[in-house]
Amino acid sequence: MTLPNGWTGADACVLQDALRLSQEAFAAHLGVHWRTVGNWHKKPSSRPKSELQQALDTALDRASDEVKARFAEARAGAPRATTDAAADAEQRLAADPNIVAALDWLDERGTREPGTARRAVASRLAQVDVNSLQDRGSRRGRVDQRKVAQALADYYGRGAGGYGRYAARFGDVEADTSVFTHSDWLDLDCPLIATHDRLKLMRAAGAAPVSLDEEAFDQAAQRLAESLALGIRFVNMPLYRLLGVDMGRESLGGTVGISSFVEYIVTMDLLEGELVDALAGGVQAGELPLRDRYLPDLDTVLDVGGRLTAGGTLALCAFARPADPFRGPADYVLLVQERSGHVINAARRLAVIPKGFHQPLVDFRADAQVGATLRREMEEELFGRHDIDNTVGDQRSADPMHPSRLSEPMRWLLGEPGRLRMECTGFGLNLVSGNFEFPGLIVVDDEEFWRRYGGQIEANWETANLRQYSSGDAELVEELAADTAWSNEGLFALLQGLRRLKEIGGSRVNVPTIEWEIR
């Protein structure tokens, strides 16, 4: 359930009252710092960031009918802090530093006079129909993983030189994905520790080679106008962009530079929406002008340094559980998320958890390790660390991942060597948006962890629902792999993770053997 004009601080406070929670309890309910709720009380006309808008949407959607009725009644009798969404959008267009950064970038890369992008966005903003955007979201949700993979197979054709799309057989399931890979990039079994996890930061790499023609400029302006109309907030955080690849058995190598989130969302991130809209509307997948510009062929896909190549890592989590008289023999619990409709990447799709963009937190060189992103995402997405979510607030800690700041579950996992095993199981380039993908496997073999902390694992706002599966339930796990709701990268990570878990999990694992192929 969403508010037509988005949430204000006043609306959030009304929801708090309807839930009959204290500020501290309401903050915990949303997964935010208590000061955030305090600020809403102090500044009722303020507009929470997009991620908090989404968290509030989810909280209201999951509330009981009684709470919803109290909320509607109280809100109807209370004056709106801001009633004119267009005025709010205009204000953000001029004052939101993240929007301003996007406009400046568009003017610079599009070789336009300063102010051109702002005028273009303002013009489109006046024409945006929010109801039409919501209808479009529903249509997009009907385009499943298999349709996307097939459309991209048709667009790019078969690879050469050992490169191709990742496919696999898992029992009776045949999976085909949009992940472009190579046999040398699979089954890496690479421990995510410093001696093996060795991406190197090139600080002098310079900006990604992106220029904007009229079509690309217009689509970027439209994206910003729609974000403003829907009240969506984003943060212009730094991202690692891939410059070179050097992967091998038990070794992650290559180079990365620094880009920005703004640059990504107004260029490469537009490719997925363009493709899905084409498929939802019955348009041929070949009629894709932005893809023709940014990612026209497989040579461009492989030329990671010659384009903006952002991406991330995601991992299948397997936590050992003891035998149970009701559930059965000892096993691993496997976690799978249904992604929120408000996230940038893989919205409303199934994915393993954690999943995140590969980006620096505070130490740009050390954080280039893939394992650094996975540990941070575990803290944020599984163990409730809101202070490291840079979409919620500014980062002021000198060392957010210092042992003294870790959550209790993570502190226990890192307390003794061997309790937490993290491996990278492969590497690929996702044809959807050209992103790099590092699928991983996180294994905790000590049953004590689940006894102590299994009840404390709770996904953050990025997840609409969290599921668990048993590594001993071959039938359900096979059914899971056949679900067409997966994101392509999520299915890639699931299959590679299960393949590795079957090798190392012993009697706890009872799933079919997974055999991959390159197509």
190, 469 Cβ separation under 8 angstroms: no
> Which residues share a beta bridge with 333?
319, 470
pTM across the whole model: 0.82
Coil, helix or strand at residue 65: helix
Q: How many helices (H) and strands (E) does the chain have?
A: 20, 15
Sequence-distant (≥ 6) Cβ neighbours of residue 75 within 8 angstroms: 11, 14
Rounded distance between C-alpha atoms, residue 75 and residue 61, angstroms: 16
pLDDT (tens digit, 9 = 90+) per residue, 249-305?
Answer: 999 999 999 999 999 999 999 999 999 999 998 765 557 999 999 999 999 999 999
Instruction: Read off φ and ψ for residue 325, nearest 5 degrees.
Output: -65, -25
Q: Is the peptide bond before 417 cis (omega within 30 degrees of 0)?
A: no
Cα distances (angstroms) measured from residue 349 to each of 124, 334, 385: 29, 17, 23
Instruction: Determine phi and psi for 356, rounding to 5 degrees.
Output: -160, 160
With CA atoms as reference, report the closest residue to 223 among 186, 264, 173: 264
Residues of the chain with pLDDT under 70: 1-2, 42, 77-88, 90, 283-286, 342, 344-345, 390-395
pLDDT digits (tens, 9 = 90+) for 65-77: 889 988 888 887 6
Q: What is the pLDDT of residues 106-118, one digit of tens each?
A: 999 888 999 999 9
Q: Find the length of the chain.
A: 519
pLDDT for the residue 284? 58
How far from 263 is each of 104, 235, 240, 480, CA to CA, in Å? 11, 11, 12, 35
According to DSSP, the residues that pair with 200 across neighbouring strands are 255
Kind of pairing, strands 197-201 and 252-260?
A: parallel
Give 405-410 contacts, CB < 8 A, sequence gap 24+: 406/379, 407/379, 407/383, 408/453, 408/456, 409/382, 409/383, 409/449, 409/452, 409/453, 409/456, 409/457, 410/375, 410/378, 410/379, 410/383
Q: 231: buried, middle or exposed (CB in 10 Å: 19+, 13-18, 0-12)?
A: buried
Side-chain-facing half-sphere of 68: CA atoms under 13 Å: 12
What pLDDT does residue 80 have? 46
